[in-house]
Amino acid sequence: MINKTVASVTDALHDVTDGMTLMLGGFGLCGIPENSIAFLSDKGVRDITCISNNAGVDDFGLGLLLQKHQIRKMISSYVGENDEFERQMLSGELEVELIPQGTLAERCRAAQAGIPAFYTPAGFGTEVGAGKESRIFNGKPHLLEFAFQADFAVVKAWKGDEAGNLIFKGTARNFNPVMCGAAKVTVAEVEELLPAGSLDPNEIHIPGIFVQRIFKGERFEKRIEKRTTQKKEY
C-alpha cells in the first residue's frame, strides 16, 4: 500500500507557486485547512485564484491571504464576513466570481468525477447566467456550467491514515469531500494521522485514491465565526 504521508505542511505544499488555482475546503470557518492557509500566507505566493465557499474573516482563514494581496481572483458563494474582501472587490483590486452554493459544490464534484460540464437551472435569468449557454430540459431552462480546473485541492479532515483515507467530522463534511480528487494534486491536513488499516472501512468518507499527500496539522484554532450567547436565567 502506498504511503502518502509527508512530514509537514512545508513538504505538502512546497510546489505551490505564483499564479496557481487552489481549491480550499471549509464552510465559514468550519473545516478550513488552517495550517495550510497559514503556510501559504508565510510563503508569500501571489496572483493565486482561490476556489472556496467563502473568504474567511479579516484576520483568519483566507483573510490572511487577502491582507497581503496574495489572491488575484476569488471564486465563492458567500463572502459577507470579510471587510477587506469587500474593500478589495469594490475598489477593483480583486476579481470576484460569485456562484450559487449548489453550483459551486457541483462544479467541484464534476471535476472530481471527471465530468467536464453539466446543466443546472440555478442562476438562469440572473447575472449568474449572463453570457452562458442555456438549454431547455423538461420545459425548464438550464445553464451550462463547467467543472473547475485547479492545480491543488487543500482539505481538512478529522482523521486520516497513511494511505490517504479520510474521515470528516460534523459540519466539516461540507466542501471538503467534493474537493478531494477535483484538482491535479489533493493535499489533506488531518487532526489525527493513523497507520494504514486503522480506520473502519465503513466509516471512511473519502478513499485514499483521491488524495496524493497527507500530513498531521500542528495546531487547530477552530475559531467560531459568529458566537451567539444568551444570559442564563436562574
Which domains does the chain possess?
16-98+149-216 (3.40.1080.10)
Confidence band, pLDDT 50/70/90 cuts, at residue 94: very high
Query: Which alpha helices (DSSP H) does the chain contain, by range?
Result: 9-12, 34-43, 63-67, 83-91, 101-113, 175-179
Per-residue pLDDT at 229? 79
Which CA distances in Å does 217 have to 6, 38, 64, 212? 11, 11, 18, 16
What is the residue-averaged pLDDT of the chain? 93
Q: How much is the pTM?
A: 0.91
pLDDT of 204 higher than 90: yes
* Tens of pLDDT, residues 4-55: 999 999 999 999 999 999 999 998 888 999 999 999 999 999 999 999 998 8
Question: Percent of the chain scored above 70 by pLDDT?
Answer: 98
3-state helix, strand, coil in the chain (%, to 5): 25, 30, 45
Unique residue bearing C-alpha cell 507557486: 17
- The whole-angstrom separation of Cα 176 and Cα 101 is 14
* Tens of pLDDT, residues 145-185: 999 999 999 999 999 999 999 999 998 899 999 999 999 99
pLDDT of 81 higher than 90: no
Closest CA to 174 of 118, 108, 100, 89: 108
Instruction: Enter the C-alpha cell of residue 121.
Output: 437551472
